[in-house]
Structure 1
């Protein structure tokens, strides 16, 4: 009987140890459906983001340059839910950086975004693709939306001007 008891205790200890070890792993964060898994930002990654791509049956053709680009439309912002995930250019999204997502502007180009309601403007760097919600032309980081004054509202009518 003592032998059976000790093997049962050992089995329980082994199971408890496995349970504890499995709890120590990092939680799985699924990749964004709009980004490709890349390990580092490189010039090669930038070239890859310049190729035409398709999302939900719509084909997008990225521009070669942001120079002379101008667009008006509705902006939205994204933050905590995407913070730390990979962007389309391969870097990790930082909701506190001055960045944005645009469907066609070249990666790493800079644009001025002006809130048409209050006249506030910011300069942001394109590092992701999107937004793919109907009626939106640009997705701004939390920091950019805060400076433009529309975090609480969620969206704002803006003018986008390409700088380079």
Structure 2
């Protein structure tokens, strides 16, 4: 029998592990069997920009040093550490990046990519380009197949 004086544990008290993603931390809902359900974060479509040399080795909003060659990105609201697929609507390429910074700071953009991610998408040197952004769930490590038009 549970201790009536005990306080319920929260997700914030549980240690992070490789099996627990940032998406899992957003959910406190439990299904009928008592298992936690991860909140599904919405996909976004919009413009992507990239940043690199002027910010290389500077601290990001998450506290880590920015590596312009790493597969990372800035997003306004997704939790730090969230893995997302970014797919170029121009090249059709998709890459998985980790959110480690805040931004973009221009209202017409949905994500600010590292130089490495922009190169992998084939967007380096192209300025602002349209992308789709899909947050990945726990255990997902690749972009979903391209959706037919």
Cα distance in 1 for residues equivalent to 2:107 and 2:136:
26
Q: Deviations over 1:67-99 (max 9, x none)?
A: 432000000000000001000110000000000
The answer on 1:102 being equivalent to 2:75 is: yes
**Structure 2 partner of 1:80:** 53
Query: Corresponding residue for 2:26?
Result: 64
Match for 2:97 among 124, 141, 163?
124
1:146 is aligned to 119
* TM-score of the two chains, using structure 1 as the length reference: 0.59
Q: Secondary structure at the match of 1:144?
A: helix
How many aligned positions are there?
A: 104
Q: Report the structure, 1 or 2, having the larger helix content.
A: 1
Distance 1:90 1:116 in 2: 31
Between structure 1 and structure 2, the one with the greater Rg is: 1
Flag as ranges the 4+ runs of structure 1 deviating above 2 A. 63-69
Question: How big is the shift at 1:118?
Answer: 1.5
CA deviations on 1:102-160 (whole Å, 9 max, x unpaired) are 00111001000000112100000000000011301100000000011111112210000
SS in 2 for 1:147: helix
Work out the CA distance in 2 between the residues paired with 1:158 and 1:95.
19
Give the 3-state SS of the residue equivalent to 2:130 in structure 1.
Answer: strand
Structure 2, unaligned runs of 5 or more: 1-14, 16-24, 28-38, 138-149
The reply on whether 1:135 has 2:108 as its aligned counterpart is yes
Query: What value does the CA root-mean-square deviation take over the aligned residues?
Result: 2.0
Unaligned runs of 5+ in 1: 1-42, 44-62
**Secondary structure class of the residue paired with 1:152:** coil
Match of 2:33 in 1: none
Check if 1:157 corresponds to 2:130: yes
Question: Normalising to structure 2: TM-score of the pair?
Answer: 0.65
